[in-house]
């Protein structure tokens, strides 16, 4: 099961003028049902809504008064989602607006739920199929006003350098012993991310995927999109599968094993360097999530050769 890791507001917490504008985008009268969805870290709404006439939509809304960074990400997601082609396995954006006090996205409501975790083989296969289809639809990238993956992740992949400069007292002994190798691997991983011309999601986890009743997988939540190699999202899927305790082989098939090791080292350095920090406003549980990922990836990576 995907864990609920944050505190959300819901549809009923939105000001009436915001609700009215959303209802005008959806059509079909007033919203008569709103079901808040778990997963993710935004302190804003994530509601499946139904209007009087039966029209359905998925509504995301966040206020910068709660978390400015979440509002910035919602603006990015609105711009990115609007550019995604109909051939991509993603929800269609019905509309969106930014009042200054609220950033709101209104999307198709995809009938389905998150993949089961620990991951099961059939849903791994479906997710890999969806990500291959996604990469084909988004190559070449349909917009260029997003960063390249190496640019987006440059600071994050410097995590081991930060740790080496001031090692925390509770740093895992294996990581402390292998700091030079982890630094070199992270640098190679960042270099590998400089290739490619695919618009990638760059935040693939079970709670950013939906499995429809027919078994097809759709990819949701797009604020981190960037341009990079066509294998990046499958590699990130593999890491989510690892963290859940399942076998990532299907997701990682066809990706250079050394690249897998190097990119994993870079992401592990990111998690190790940030999970000890105070949580950002409105997102109190994100550090526990990051610590969990650090521990799981460290346990997997220590069994792979570092050079």
* Domains, the chain, with CATH or none: 11-107 (3.30.200.20), 121-301 (3.90.1200.10)
Rounded-to-integer distance, Cα 245 and Cα 41, Å? 22
CB 114 within 8 A of CB 51: no
Name the β-bridge partners of 218. 210
* Band of residue 293 on the pLDDT scale cut at 50, 70, 90: very high
- Digit-coded pLDDT (tens) for 246-286: 999 999 999 999 999 999 999 999 999 999 999 988 778 89
Task: Answer positive or negative: Cα dihedral of 251, 257, 260, 261.
Answer: positive
Q: Is the pLDDT of residue 218 over 90?
A: yes
Mean pLDDT, the chain, whole residue set: 94
pLDDT of res. 160? 98
Burial 147-180 (b: 16+ CB within 10 A, else e): ebbbebbeebbbbbeebeeeeeeeeeeebeebbe
**% of the chain residues with pLDDT over 90:** 89
Neighbour tally for 20: CB within 10 Å: 12
Rounded-to-integer distance, Cα 104 and Cα 87, Å? 24
pLDDT of res. 2? 34
Neighbour tally for 86: CB within 10 Å: 7
Rounded-to-integer distance, Cα 103 and Cα 295, Å? 35
pLDDT of res. 66? 83
* Band of residue 40 on the pLDDT scale cut at 50, 70, 90: low
pLDDT of res. 39? 61
State the greatest distance between any 2 C-alpha atoms of the chain, in Å, as a whole number.
Answer: 63
Q: How many residues in the chain?
A: 307
Rounded-to-integer distance, Cα 96 and Cα 75, Å? 9
CB 246 within 8 A of CB 118: yes
pLDDT of res. 41? 63
Give a three-class secondary structure readout of the chain.
CCCCCCCCCCHHHCCHHHHHHHHHHHCCCCEEEEEECCCCCCCCEEEEEEECCCCEEEEEEECCCCCHHHHHHHHHHHHHHHCCCCCCCCCCEEEEEECCCCEEEEECCCCCECCCCCCCHHHHHHHHHHHHHHHHHCCCCCCCCCCEHHHHHCCHHHHHHHHHHCCCCCCCHHHHHCHHHHHHHHHHHHHHCCCCCEEECCCCCHHHEEECCCCCEEECCCCCCEEECCCHHHHHHHHHHHHHCCCCHHHHCCCCHHHHHHHHHHHHHHHHHHCCCCCCCCCCCHHHHHHHHHHHHHHHHCCCCCC
**Would strands 56-62 and 45-51 be described as parallel, antiparallel, or unpaired?**
antiparallel
């Amino acid at each position: 099961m995907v864990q609920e890791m944050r505190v959300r507001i819901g549809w009923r917490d939105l000001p009436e003028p915001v609700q009215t504008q959303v209802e005008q985008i959806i059509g079909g009268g007033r919203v008569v049902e709103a079901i808040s969805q778990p997963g993710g870290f935004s302190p804003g709404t994530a509601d499946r809504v139904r209007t009087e006439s039966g029209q359905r939509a998925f509504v995301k809304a966040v206020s910068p008064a709660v978390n400015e960074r979440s509002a910035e990400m919602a603006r990015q997601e609105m711009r990115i989602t609007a550019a995604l082609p109909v051939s991509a396995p993603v929800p269609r954006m019905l509309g969106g607006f930014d009042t200054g006090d609220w950033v709101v996205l209104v999307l198709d409501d995809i009938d389905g739920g998150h993949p089961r975790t620990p991951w099961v083989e059939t849903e791994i296969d479906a997710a890999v199929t969806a990500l291959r289809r996604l990469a084909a639809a988004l190559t070449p990238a349909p917009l260029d006003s997003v960063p390249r993956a190496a640019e987006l992740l440059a600071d994050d992949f410097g995590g081991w350098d930060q740790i080496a400069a001031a090692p925390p007292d509770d740093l895992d002994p294996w990581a402390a012993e292998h700091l030079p190798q982890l630094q070199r691997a992270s640098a190679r991983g960042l270099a590998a991310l400089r290739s490619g011309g695919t618009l990638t999601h760059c935040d693939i986890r079970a709670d950013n995927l939906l499995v429809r009743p027919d078994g097809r997988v759709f990819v949701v939540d797009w604020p981190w999109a960037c341009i990079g190699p066509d294998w990046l999202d499958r590699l990130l899927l593999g890491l989510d599968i690892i963290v859940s305790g399942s076998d990532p082989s299907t997701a990682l098939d066809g990706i250079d094993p050394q690249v897998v090791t190097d990119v994993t080292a870079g992401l592990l350095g990111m998690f190790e360097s940030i999970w000890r920090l105070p949580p950002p406003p409105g997102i109190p549980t994100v550090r526990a999530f990051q610590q969990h990922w650090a521990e799981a990836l460290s346990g997997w990576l220590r069994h792979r050769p570092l050079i």
